[in-house]
Amino acid sequence: MKNKAKLELFDNPYPKRDYVITISCPEFTSVCPRTGQPDFGEIIIEYTPDKKCIELKSLKFYMQSYRERGIFYESLTNEIMEDLSRASRPRRMKITSKFTPRGGITTSVVVEYKKGKK
């Protein structure tokens, strides 16, 4: 597996205001750890920044680091949450992964984070 790209941040231009940033990664790919087949999906990141915001170019490279990695949907969604919330320390964050059908079954995983709660 390739190393994960380093997430870069920038100062929140309005740190006293609550607002929501929504980022959609509609071409997300990873690999099924059981079959080795590619998994295709969309990762949606919604967050209210505190002091820092996530820089998009570094996020793109971070997401691309999953392309050849065998990982279950549940693990990757929680791992993305851990990495993004640890780096940016948002007030709140929600990660939704939606994967395309495989064998007639679709899967979505939702993980939420709120500052001060685990």
Give the active site residues.
32, 39
Q: How far apart are CA 79 and CA 84, in angstroms?
A: 9
> Is the separation of the CB atoms in 22 and 43 below 8 Å?
no
Q: What 3-state class would DSSP assign to 107?
A: strand
H helical segments located in 1-118: 56-64, 73-88
